[in-house]
Structure 1
């Protein structure tokens, strides 16, 4: 698309028992507020039923365009309400540099330890999945952390092995240059190259971040199955039904 970054269909991802995730049902992206008319037309053509928006309130306040009515999908905003808020305080230019200096890679890891649990947005996303309210799209601002973990949980539910979940997650490296350009707009040119290099870990996804989230899940619940049951109420029968509905056998022809 022209102005919507980090967009992709999770379809065709390998799942268990020789199946793949069906195409045209599950999407992820960065924020949609810069969407061009062509982008809107494309999103509208997907016949999205619901868009899950994981941005916090302060992120919504600084964007003026509202594309959701034009897309024709129900827009549900569920701020992550994380214990560690530092990562998402880089919104207003007047406070940008001060906040930017305070965010560390450990802050991001702490975020990944927190957001898999008691997350109302992810709970509502799984309810939509169970209810057949698809196609759906998950997004946040950059589409790499909150939407990235939401997509990882969705793929987990669909029976996708960790290696393929990680493979999808790491595709967000492709938007590193776009994020640097957006961030660089707020940094005085004389300091830009040095500061962008210093804070590069904040612009990209890392294997260790997804591993941090999965380790936190296993530390609390021992297994992914227990996690899906306790956090989302998905027992073995529910998972089997969801996987039968949303995955398909790969043709051998």
Structure 2
């Protein structure tokens, strides 16, 4: 299953994290780790295909309890389901809800560059939130130890999932420019998310232009997360060891499982 297959159609940001080349020429194995947007709308055929064709064994949901209640995952038979809520009850969830339903609040929060500032702040918090630190540490450990193949996802598959993918690829020593390219690949796959947000804006009388920074990923958003790791922990390696509490042997296991010689 290639990254260009756009399978399943109901989750257009579902894609293989494999195929990238590391700095030493190793290659991230395909068919072991997938990243995705919401898996709540899978058709029956797609559900069976994830289990039968991809052999999926673990489905990791990074969303909040509110998101899970509003749009519960569909999980193939025989596939384990794990919740790793990397956001918890942080106020950004309430802020986002207000942005999508309250014209006055959206103008206040998103006007004059507020949308960009909001997304930068979210990306910094994905590095420093207590829930996020625990969650991404657990994602790394699950990916290193199995079961696999696994998929991890949030709602649009771009921010929370984007940072999770960046962390895993960085641990595998994939070059930063390749990590950024993988992150930016979400933009071509976000039509459904943009349509939903435009629909919400229209229903509540919100200027859709205000929402544009929330509807896409930008290299500078991801850079904010890496910069926050450097600021708080001194380096990405410090973030992994002291923030995520991921042991060196776990990193070794992750590389042994996911890398093959070039």
Cα distance change of structure 1 residues 37 and 5 upon mapping to structure 2, 3 Å threshold? same
1:82 and 1:114 in contact (8 A); partners too = no
1:26 and 1:137 in contact (8 A); partners too = yes
Cα distance change of structure 1 residues 21 and 98 upon mapping to structure 2, 3 Å threshold? farther
Could you tell me how far 1:19 is from its partner in structure 2? 0.5
> How is 1:135-214 mapped onto 2 (pairs within 5 angstroms)?
135-188=149-202, 195-214=207-226
Secondary structure of the residue that 1:11 maps to in structure 2?
coil
Unaligned runs of 5+ in 1: none
| Aligned equivalents of 2:198, 2:90: Cα separation in 1 | 27
2:227 is aligned with 1:219: no
**Residues 168-223 of structure 1 deviation map (CA, whole Å, 9 limit, x = unaligned):** 0000101343222112222337967xx22332111000111100000000111222
Cα distance change of structure 1 residues 221 and 144 upon mapping to structure 2, 3 Å threshold? same
Cα distance change of structure 1 residues 158 and 99 upon mapping to structure 2, 3 Å threshold? farther
The equivalent of 2:4 in structure 1 is none
Could you tell me how far 1:99 is from its partner in structure 2? 5.7
| Aligned equivalents of 2:246, 2:137: Cα separation in 1 | 11
| Aligned equivalents of 2:204, 2:124: Cα separation in 1 | 36
2:124 is aligned with 1:113: yes
Cα distance change of structure 1 residues 249 and 96 upon mapping to structure 2, 3 Å threshold? farther
Unaligned runs of 5+ in 2: 1-7
Structure 1 residue aligned with 2:51, among 44, 52, 59?
Answer: 44
| Aligned equivalents of 2:248, 2:141: Cα separation in 1 | 16
**Residues 212-236 of structure 1 deviation map (CA, whole Å, 9 limit, x = unaligned):** 0000001112222222111333454
**Residues 80-109 of structure 1 deviation map (CA, whole Å, 9 limit, x = unaligned):** 22645147743998x465664435221211
Could you tell me how far 1:163 is from its partner in structure 2? 0.9
2:32 and 2:149 in contact (8 A); partners too = yes
The equivalent of 1:78 in structure 2 is 84
Q: Give me the CA root mean square deviation.
A: 2.5
The equivalent of 2:3 in structure 1 is none
Cα distance change of structure 1 residues 92 and 32 upon mapping to structure 2, 3 Å threshold? farther
> Which runs of at least 4 in structure 1 moved beyond 6 Å after TM superposition?
none
2:186 and 2:217 in contact (8 A); partners too = yes
| Aligned equivalents of 2:119, 2:23: Cα separation in 1 | 31
The equivalent of 1:248 in structure 2 is 260
How many equivalent residue pairs?
A: 245
